[in-house]
Chain A
């Protein structure tokens, strides 16, 4: 089946720095990519939807200036957490959709902000 990778799988950073997370579709072209976030003991929540070459659509309550999403190619989307703070520590997962209706999920990235 289709494979989606994320890099890095874990990252620790200092408060105030920016962190970039990559999401790649390895064997298909992803016209749409999604970013989710999981708070401890809560379900995954959709943050934003991005279509290749377009600006991302953010869910209500998600700060677009804090969580920068770029989907510059059909196989790569990036999520940049700017000026990270400890409350941004979370588990971030991307998913990708190609021509089929199925979304394929990445393995996730665990971010810890000190």
Chain B
């Protein structure tokens, strides 16, 4: 059974800092990994999708990496802004279309 862990559960940083969010998983047999952000009371916004054969994806200030051998993915946010404050979820798609979500990291960027 796939287990997905996100540490830390909460993170507070001053505006402008670069930061890294972590996602660990126990089963490396995955098809892809996706990072989402969830704003309070709102739905999921897809940020980056990394296929199993890829090692990283970039979009603007965001960079996500995938290391299946170590069971880790990281989401790097450069030059953080208050608007980046949200809960960040990683989700892994494994066999039989099953997607397993992490518990999330709640990020607060302080102006």
Contacts and interface: CB of A to CB of B under 8 A. Distances in A.
> Is the pairing of A and B real?
yes
Contact of B4 (A6, A43, A102, A107): A43
A106 B43 CA distance: 7
Interface string B52-82: 0000000000000000000000000000000
A110 interface: yes
Contact of A34 (B97, B100, B102): B97
Interface size class of B (residues with CB under 8 A): 20 to 34
Contacts of B91: 44
Nearest to A44: B101
Interface string B35-50: 0100001111010010
19 contacts: A6-B43, A9-B43, A36-B101, A43-B89, A43-B103, A49-B97, A93-B44, A95-B99, A97-B97, A101-B31, A101-B93, A102-B32, A102-B49, A103-B93, A103-B97, A105-B36, A105-B44, A107-B42, A108-B44
